[in-house]
Chain A
Amino acid sequence: MFKKIMALVAVGVLATACGSGGDTTAEGGAPAASGGGDSTITMGFAQVGAESGWRTANTKSVQESAKAAGIDLKFSDAQQKQENQIKAIRSYIQQKVDVIAFSPVVESGWDTVLQEAKAANIPVILTDRAVDSADTTLYKTFLGSDFVEEGKKAGQWLVEQYASETGDVNIVELQGTTGSAPANDRKAGFGEVIGADPKFKVIASQSGDFTRAKGKEVMDAFLKANPDIDVLYAHNDDMGLGAIEAIEGAGKVPGKDIKIITVDAVKDGMQALADGKINYIVECSPLLGPQLMDLAKKVLAGETVPTRVVTEETTFTQEQAKQALPSRQY
């Protein structure tokens, strides 16, 4: 209680300071509406780890946008272990941060620690990945990509490209890690869109574990078993990059003989897109920092936020990739 009073006093002092200065009108608006005070927000963020370029970009985005929004960020790296993440969240509760945000390593097993956060009156925001807890009051909102939507975007591009095609379109699919949410949903969304037209035929679909090495190995087998492949749909850029090598090894031209659609838009993938080896990439953006800070402010201001917020994402064609590539952060 004492801390809250102190915080309010601090906000009051700051508000008067701003008022007397007479500038920063954009920033001045928010605290007036909230009364909670957002210039002294402390956020505890428990990251999954640093397992990929995507994740590193995600971390950087959160850190930079926290600084830009004037939020004091306490950051921890769980090294892909749930127990580390639970420890980090407990320590945030003890430090009495204003809001906790985290990307759950796995889906289950969060009820206890989230109850503790709720009991301490600290709102929780999930980022990037969901939890399967039955009690949805344990967190305020879930900010992340909609993998089904990503699959649909990939399918829609394909349908448009082959709108005038009358013969069969033979598609091979490189799935992500079997059973993972992105793999399941990207497959489902894609299948839903192309399923409307019987000319689209998925003639082979195997898991490439989201890695380049597996992507290449599986694509090599596809190429030998199926002489007529028109389109490759890979659930991430890395598998697509591996498959490109397999296609080149088979004496075919990736992007021309076989059209390639991938998801993610990491830098190496964008480079291949700009080089004409990939035809279309659906973005799965890790840059959700600004949206996260915005949500945190709204939650602390007592505003109601939707329980599901989808990351702002786009898609890239080859021309768009050439323009976007120089400023690509990850």
Chain B
Amino acid sequence: MKRLAWPAGILAALLLVNLIFTDHFFQIEIKEGHLYGSLIDIFRFGAPLILVALGMTLVIATKGIDLSVGSVVAISGAMACLQISTLPSQDSIGGVLGAIGVALALAVALGVGNGFLVAIVGIQPIIATLILMVAGRGLAQLITDGQIITINSDPYKLIGGGYWLTLPFGIIIVAVVLALIAFVTRRLALGLLIESVGGNAEASRLSGIRSHGLLIVVYAFCALCAGIAGLMISSNVSSADGNNAGLWIELDAILAVVIGGTSLAGGRFSLGGTVLGALIIQTLTTTIYSIGVPPETTLLFKALVVTIVCLLQSPAFRAKVFRSRRKPAPPTVPAGEKVTVRT
């Protein structure tokens, strides 16, 4: 749990900034029969990023990376909206479920393709998924015919823009997916297997782990998460934009994973850290809008915060700073932290 202390502290610091500079930031009220407030917004708009980042966490734990998630987000949203726009009645629940099924199946198929390139063909993950990152945008635009598809479907609207029991439906989806991943990776052996493949794929294979199949499953699952995120994003605005949906979300997701304490070198991962990381990014975005950072300097502001976050996350940096402040700091702090692998 100690590893989560830093990201949690950073999130708390960001919220503190809002407590000082933004009025009503922590105010939560019931409007139109659902919860309403800035904190709810952070969860609502952060939900797709949390999902994508969770999938990315498992991929990164296998020492891989998936750059194609942004394109998968666009493809899945485009596919679902295209299907729904052709329905005789856009409010028919069966038709919407069918459209969602087709979109998610397509996302999984693309993920299996990524996994195949990485595990069987042996292409470097960054290159293998770069292919789909570039081609996928084109595919999404092909599906939407270069237009923005606007739909008017209440059941579809629920996924990303609706509420259930006063809670945003997206948060519920994220909670379910998170519980599922936590169960299969931490209560079953899957997490250990993923970490062992990430530590050394060849050694795991020789010791009897089917690393090829495992890799394909992980990439397919990551694409599935991106697919669900794509449904949320397009549902939130009732339209599919092949050009802009999920643009650069892969970079935000990787950042969330890293802030959360998962090593890009593979071999270990922290689901709780990733969720915190994604929440930090979304809180930062909301903070920028709320306190009114001028748009010209937004990127610089973000970069500064991320730099500070990464420095605080670095054991070497912390050891140096804290050693100079308090003399008797033990020199083995970084090594000691690395040994405590499981949380």
Q: Which residues of A contact B (CB under 8 A)?
A: 49-53, 55-56, 175, 178-179, 204-207, 209-213, 216-218, 220-222, 224-225, 227, 238, 241-242, 245, 249-251, 268
Q: Which of A53, A210, A225, A251 contacts B147 (CB 8 A)?
A: A53
A137 vs B23: C-alpha distance when bound (angstroms): 56
Q: Which of B41, B147, B288, B295 contacts A178 (CB 8 A)?
A: B295
The 8 closest A-B CB pairs, nearest first, are: A221-B289, A50-B146, A207-B295, A212-B237, A225-B290, A211-B244, A251-B31, A224-B38
Contact B37 A224 (CB under 8 A): yes
- Give A175's nearest chain B residue, CB to CB: B295
Chain B 26-57 interface residues, beta-carbon cutoff 8 Å to A: 31-32, 36-38, 41, 45
User: What's the minimum C-beta distance from B334 to chain A, rounded to whole angstroms?
Assistant: 38
Q: Which of A49, A225, A238 contacts B148 (CB 8 A)?
A: A238
The secondary structure that dominates the B interface is mixed
Which residues of A are found within 8 Å of B236, using beta-carbon distances? 213, 216, 245
Which residues of B are found within 8 Å of A212, using beta-carbon distances? 148, 237, 239, 241
Contact A178 B31 (CB under 8 A): no
Which residues of A are found within 8 Å of B238, using beta-carbon distances? 245
In the complex, 30 of the A-B residue pairs with CB atoms within 8 angstroms, ordered by the A residue number, are A50-B141, A51-B141, A51-B243, A53-B147, A56-B147, A175-B295, A206-B295, A207-B295, A209-B244, A210-B244, A211-B241, A213-B236, A213-B241, A217-B45, A217-B285, A217-B289, A220-B45, A221-B41, A221-B286, A224-B24, A225-B38, A225-B289, A225-B292, A227-B24, A241-B237, A245-B238, A249-B31, A249-B36, A250-B36, A268-B148
Residue with the highest number of chain A CB atoms closer than 10 Å, among B244, B285, B286, B294: B244
A222-B289, A250-B31 are known; give 13 further A-B pairs, CB within 8 A. A50-B146, A52-B146, A178-B295, A178-B298, A220-B45, A221-B41, A225-B22, A225-B23, A225-B289, A245-B236, A249-B32, A249-B36, A268-B150
Contact A221 B38 (CB under 8 A): yes
Q: Which residues of B contact A (CB under 8 A)?
A: 22-25, 31-32, 36-38, 41, 45, 141, 146-148, 150, 161, 233, 236-239, 241, 243-245, 285-286, 288-292, 294-296, 298
A206 vs B301: C-alpha distance when bound (angstroms): 14
User: What's the minimum C-beta distance from A249 to chain B, rounded to whole angstroms?
Assistant: 7
- Give B238's nearest chain A residue, CB to CB: A245
A51 vs B25: C-alpha distance when bound (angstroms): 37
Contact A207 B298 (CB under 8 A): yes
Which residues of A are found within 8 Å of B36, using beta-carbon distances? 249-251
Contact A221 B148 (CB under 8 A): no
A245 vs B150: C-alpha distance when bound (angstroms): 13
A267 vs B146: C-alpha distance when bound (angstroms): 15
A46 vs B45: C-alpha distance when bound (angstroms): 39
A267 vs B204: C-alpha distance when bound (angstroms): 57
A299 vs B32: C-alpha distance when bound (angstroms): 60
- Give A217's nearest chain B residue, CB to CB: B45
A225 vs B287: C-alpha distance when bound (angstroms): 10
Q: Which of B25, B147, B233, B241 contacts A224 (CB 8 A)?
A: B25
Contact A224 B295 (CB under 8 A): no
- Give A271's nearest chain B residue, CB to CB: B150
A45 vs B45: C-alpha distance when bound (angstroms): 41
User: What's the minimum C-beta distance from B290 to chain A, rounded to whole angstroms?
Assistant: 4
Contact B289 A218 (CB under 8 A): yes
Which residues of B are found within 8 Å of A245, using beta-carbon distances? 161, 236-238
Contact A178 B296 (CB under 8 A): yes
Which residues of A are found within 8 Å of B141, using beta-carbon distances? 50-51
User: What's the minimum C-beta distance from B147 to chain A, rounded to whole angstroms?
Assistant: 5
Contact B298 A213 (CB under 8 A): no
Which residues of A are found within 8 Å of B239, using beta-carbon distances? 212, 241, 268
Which residues of B are found within 8 Å of A204, using beta-carbon distances? 289, 292
